[in-house]
Chains A and B, each alone.
Chain A
Amino acid sequence: MTTSAQTPVKAARGANFILARRILAVVGVQNMSLILALVLLVIFIGVQNSNFFYASNIATIGTTIAIVGVLAVVQTVVMLLGGLDISVGSQAGLTSVVSAMVFMSTGSALAGIAAALVLGLCLGLLNGIVIIYGRVNAVIATLATFAAFRGAANLISDGRAQGYTGMNHLFVFLARGDIVGVPVLIWILLVVALLVQLMLHFTDIGRNIYAVGGNAIAARLAGIPLNRYIVGCYMLVGLVAALAGILLTARTGSGQPTSGSQGLELQSITAAALGGVALQGGRGTIVGTILAVILLGVLENGLIILNVNSFWQDIAQGALLVVAVVIQQRRAGTKGVGLP
């Protein structure tokens, strides 16, 4: 056959091309572009200020993104389901205050943590119930609880930081400890991300979440209990938001009603959207979200290192969310004639 006599160079190039395509198929276009953006950003910042590469700075980035990271992971889950949770930051604030207050009155860190986690589940349950039984749009429902939870946090704390956990071993371990040289905060992010990833990928629960987000009517007619999934996902968000609240308490040494948790909703939604989670639901991965979280963390750190006015960070964040969604819509081929 003449085909076997083709030049080896051409064949090799073909093989490379196939390999490249296969890698792209496995990693995904979205993740590939995130990695590319990350590399470019790191090079840009590193060239301007080589302190960026210090191990201490890398660890700083890691610990700053842990809290927003766990929230972005669960935000991804509700977004896959076709919902949204704007109240995550307020939930973190409220549970942070409660964890510190319970700790102060009982003297037990475990009691504080348990109280926060149970409260988180209840807050999530409330969101789910409002959405399902009140038939309220998820954005509106969680916008309302966003304000209400924040108000509750300020009310019980009188708007002030509560307690002092800086002397408690468990809280200090959570905030500043390390396991085999890696900060505990980063371990927590990794474990949460891994568990959720395993759930989404290998269990019927995860597959049904994708199905509900992809086509809720089809999922319902196939016998998937939509309500249970919606409530369950919002409870998962509540639980993880409580975890974020506990970490917030541990990092700052006291229960914080608003400081530190403000803006977490925007950051987690931005990360998920940038990571490729479709706003209509049904499409997206945890890997993409984590990459986006790292990208945002590096960006924030870079702006600080390069002495950029910190107000620019909010502008950059907002701009990134819009850009991420615009890219998403373009790729989905949504034609705009006007607003729907």
Chain B
Amino acid sequence: MTGAVLLHMDDVAKRFGPVQALRGVSLNARAGEVLALMGENGAGKSTLLRLMSGVHQPDGGNITVDGQRVVFATPQAARAAGVRVVAQEPEIIPDVSVAENVYAGALPRRGCIFDRAGLRAQLEQDLARYGFTGVLDPAQLGRSLSPAQRQVIEILRALTGGARVIAFDEPTSSLSDHEVESLFRLIAQLKAEDIAVIYVSHRMKEIFRIADRILVLRDGASVGERQAAETDEPELVRMMVGRDLSALFPRSPRSVGAPVLSLHNITTEDVTSVSFNVRAGEIVALAGLVGAGRTELAHAIIGDTPIASGHIEVEGRQLTLRSPRDAVKAGLALAPEERKQQALLMKRSVRDNICLAILGRLQRWRVVSRTEEGRIARRYVQELRVRTPTIDQEVATLSGGNQQKTVLARWLAREAKLLILDEPTRGVDVGAKADIYAIIDKLAAQGSAILVISSELPEVLGLADRILVMQGGRIRGEISRAEATEEKILSLAILENAA
């Protein structure tokens, strides 16, 4: 049962600065069919969706709808052409009714007066038409809707707006099991309506339940396409992974010492009962999917978010964390994932950024020694090979890799005992990546304890002495370097009944 091709993307490419996010991917979305998109984090799935929803425009390749070539300059243009991406967390206006949320921007009017009765009748009619009767109460306020109901609103917006291609971006990540079931019934109805559905997910079970065809992406390119009936989980995992470890990762001899950081049953809003050690001279990687709770755990360790129960020890001494200041004083440091928003003073110089955490040590009678500051900044700029004309250069003008090195320099200057690096090479070009891996290796060789959070499996395998895999806020398993493979990590991170 193959319907007509509604949306065709031909050899589309997209580059963000130094990162080639998509390098020529083609796909066909057919009426009455569910096409699943799979791939690791960073494989290019989200970029592909953004191209079809008009958020970004491709650098190369064509998009055709019904055989007509189109250019989606804006999200509005994509919607007008009948292509709609349902966001993970749709925009909902909290203080107006479901009905007004669905028809926002195109409310029915009688003359110049808003037609409340007409709106209600219209919604009931549309609900019945698309088979959603009973799912939504038209009078309910936006704020009280469950995540699943929000997605229903977004789908209704799409349908009433005349969409014929509807894409879902990991729709089940915020849904309960029960809600997932109703979403699947919805998708079945969409198929019956001859709508082309594109479905992005990591979850194998879901894919095999609803997809007709599966397209696997890796590193911004398409690896292959399979009919769902003709493939199985191991084959898909192999397709998603299948890469050689490059020679990017140096490994100096290290001696692993006593635990620097010990977590004992840490529970917060986002993670549950997490316990592990990181020892001096050891690199531990936290692997898992985006949203598994790794970043949240890092912020809890550093004292940025409260811990509900459990405790943290640093070098055997229990730590009371009231704010990141306590953690920094104890020798912990976090290089966060969002380095522009959370780590850097973008308008200040490289020198100011490197010395941010050590000003207290450089002062005498509260006066900061500019010469000492310059000496330290220059030393780390040289040591980490930060490419900047002078140490007085504004950080905003540096590339992503050099910005990240500046953040690392800050914590090297502070001589942190434990460094938590959250996605240390995101948005960093290959050359700087190799530099950063070398820095991490050297730090470990010098006896620092390092906890790396990474969604890139080759990075995890190349760097880590031990790998902890998180899923749904829990540690799902620990793998030693010797026995680690991408398949093992991925299956712990993805499969619900593993381990």
| Inter-chain contacts of A219 with B (CB < 8 A) | 345, 356
Contact between chains at B329 and A223 (CB < 8 Å): yes
Q: Mark A198-223, 1 if CB is under 8 A from B, else 0.
A: 00001111011011001101111111
> Does any Cβ of B come within 8 Å of A112's Cβ?
no
Is the pair B366, A211 in contact by a Cβ cutoff of 8 Å?
no
Contact B345 A214 (CB under 8 A): yes
Shortest CB-to-CB span from A211 to chain B, Å, is 6
Bound form: Cα–Cα A214–B356 in Å: 12
Q: Can you name the residue of chain A whose Cβ is closest to the Cβ of B338?
A: A217
From A217, A218, A282, residue with most partner B Cβ within 10 Å: A218
- What 1/0 mask marks residues of chain B from 389 to 426 whose CB sits below 8 Å from any chain A CB? 00000000000000000000010000000000000000
Q: Tally chain B residues at the interface, Cβ within 8 Å.
A: 29
Complex Cα spacing A221 to B301, Å: 11
Q: A202-B368, A225-B323, A225-B325 are in contact. Are A218 and B344 (CB under 8 A)?
A: yes
B315 contacts chain A at the CB level, 8 A cutoff: no
Chain B CB within 8 A of A160 CB = no
A223 lies within 8 A of B325 (CB): yes
B325 partner, pick from A202, A210, A218, A224, beta carbons under 8 A: A224
B312 located at the interface, meaning its Cβ lies under 8 Å from any Cβ of chain A in the complex? no
Hey, which chain B residues are within 8 Å of A283, CB to CB? 347
Contact assessment for B302 and A221 in the assembled complex, using a CB-CB cutoff below 8 Å: yes
B304 touches A215 (CB 8 A): no
CA distance in complex: A214, B395 (Å): 12
**Which single residue of chain B is at the shortest CB-CB distance from A210?**
B348
Are B359 and A208 in contact, with the CB atoms below 8 A?
yes
Q: Which residues of B contact A225 (CB under 8 A)?
A: 323, 325
Q: Classify the secondary structure of A's interface with B.
A: helix
Bound-state CA distance A223–B324 (Å) is: 6
Contact of A204 with B360 in the complex, beta carbons under 8 Å: yes
A218 contacts B324, C-beta separation under 8 Å: no
Interface centre among A215, A220, A223, A226 (most CB of B within 10 A): A223
Distance in Å: Cβ of A206 to nearest Cβ of chain B: 9
Report A288-317 CB contacts with B as 1/0, cut-off 8 Å: 000000000000000000000000000000
Assuming the A-B contacts A208-B359, A220-B304, A223-B357, are A203 and B367 also in contact, with contact meaning beta carbons closer than 8 angstroms in the complex?
yes
Report B112 CB to chain A, min CB distance, Å: 23
B282 contacts A by Cβ under 8 Å: no
Q: B460 in the interface, Cβ–Cβ < 8 Å?
A: no
Q: Which residue of B lies closest to A213 (CB)?
A: B345
Bound CA span A204–B366, Å = 6
Q: Are A203 and B368 in contact (CB under 8 A)?
A: yes
Q: A203-B367, A204-B368, A282-B347 are in contact. Are A218 and B304 (CB under 8 A)?
A: no
Instruction: Kindly supply a per-residue 1/0 record for chain B positions 357-375, scoring 1 wherever the CB is within 8 Å of any chain A CB and 0 otherwise.
Output: 1011011001110000000
In the bound complex, how far is the Cα of B353 from the Cα of A214, in angstroms?
11
**Complex interface bits, B324-348 against A, C-beta within 8 A gives 1, otherwise 0:** 1101110000101000011111111
Contact A202 B367 (CB under 8 A): yes
Min CB distance A27 to B, Å, is 17
Within 8 Å CB of A282, what residues of B?
A: 345, 347
Known: A218-B345, A221-B336, A221-B342. A207 touches B323 (CB 8 A): no
Interface string of A218-252 (1 = CB under 8 A from B): 11111111100000000000000000000000000
**Is B352 located at the chain interface by the 8 A CB criterion?**
yes
Chain B residue with minimal CB distance to A203?
A: B366
Contact of B410 among A204, A210, A222 (CB under 8 A): A222
Whether A211 lies near B345 (C-beta < 8 A) is: yes
Residue of B nearest to A226 (CB): B323
| Interface of chain A residues 182 through 211 with chain B (CB within 8 A) | 202-205, 207-208, 210-211
Query: Closest Cβ of chain A: how far from B305's Cβ, in Å?
Result: 12
**Pair A211/B356 contact, Cβ less than 8 Å:** yes
Smallest CB–CB gap between B74 and chain A, Å? 13
Q: How far is the CA of A294 from the CA of B357 in the complex (A)?
A: 37
Closest residue of chain A to B373 (Cβ to Cβ) is A207
Knowing A215-B346, A223-B357, A224-B325 are in contact, say whether A204-B363 is a contact too (CB < 8 A): yes
Contact assessment for A220 and B324 in the assembled complex, using a CB-CB cutoff below 8 Å: yes
Residue of B304, B323, B362 with most partner-chain A CB within 10 A: B323
Cα–Cα distance between A208 and B325 once the two chains are bound (Å): 13
Residues of A within 8 A of B344 (CB): 215, 218
What residues of chain B lie closer than 8 Å to A205, measured between beta carbons?
A: 366
Interface centre among A202, A207, A210, A282 (most CB of B within 10 A): A207
Give, as a whole number of angstroms, the nearest-CB distance from A332 to chain B.
Answer: 10
CB <8 Å contact, B347 and A218: no
Using known A-B contacts A218-B344, A221-B343, A223-B324, determine if residue A204 contacts B304 with beta carbons closer than 8 Å.
no
In the complex, the chain B residue whose C-beta lies closest to that of A214 is B345
A221, B366: Cβ atoms under 8 Å? no
Q: B304: which A residues are within 8 A, CB to CB?
A: 220-221
Q: Which chain A residues border B367 with CB–CB below 8 Å? A: 202-203
Separation of A208 and B366 alpha carbons in the complex (Å): 12
Identify which of B302, B324, B343, B346 gathers the most chain A CB atoms within 10 Å of its CB.
Answer: B324
Across the interface, A218 reaches (CB within 8 A) one of B323, B329, B342, B366, namely B342
Q: Is the CB of A214 within 8 A of B348?
A: yes
Tell me, rounded to whole Å, the shortest Cβ–Cβ distance linking A212 to chain B: 10
Residues of chain A contacted by B341 (CB below 8 angstroms): 215, 217
Task: Provide the bound-state CA to CA distance between A85 and B100, in Å.
Answer: 40
Q: For A222, give its contact among B328, B347, B362, B368 (CB under 8 Å).
A: B328
With A and B bound together, what is the CA distance between A226 and B324 in angstroms?
10
Q: Across the interface, do A215 and B345 meet the contact criterion of CB distance under 8 Å? A: yes
Chain B nearest CB, measured from A23 CB (Å) = 18
Question: Which residues of chain A have C-beta atoms less than 8 A from B360's C-beta?
Answer: 204
The answer to whether A217 and B342 touch across the interface, beta carbons within 8 angstroms, is yes
Chain A residues near B362 (CB, 8 Å)? 204
- Which 5 interchain pairs have the tightest Cβ spacing? A223-B328, A204-B359, A214-B345, A203-B366, A222-B357
Which residues of chain B have a CB within 8 Å of any CB of chain A?
Answer: 302, 304, 323-325, 327-329, 334, 336, 341-348, 352, 356-357, 359-360, 362-363, 366-368, 410
The 8 sampled A-B contact pairs (Cβ below 8 Å) are A203-B367, A204-B359, A204-B360, A207-B359, A218-B344, A220-B304, A220-B325, A223-B329
Known: A202-B367, A223-B324, A224-B325. 5 other contacts (CB 8 A): A214-B345, A223-B325, A223-B328, A223-B329, A282-B347
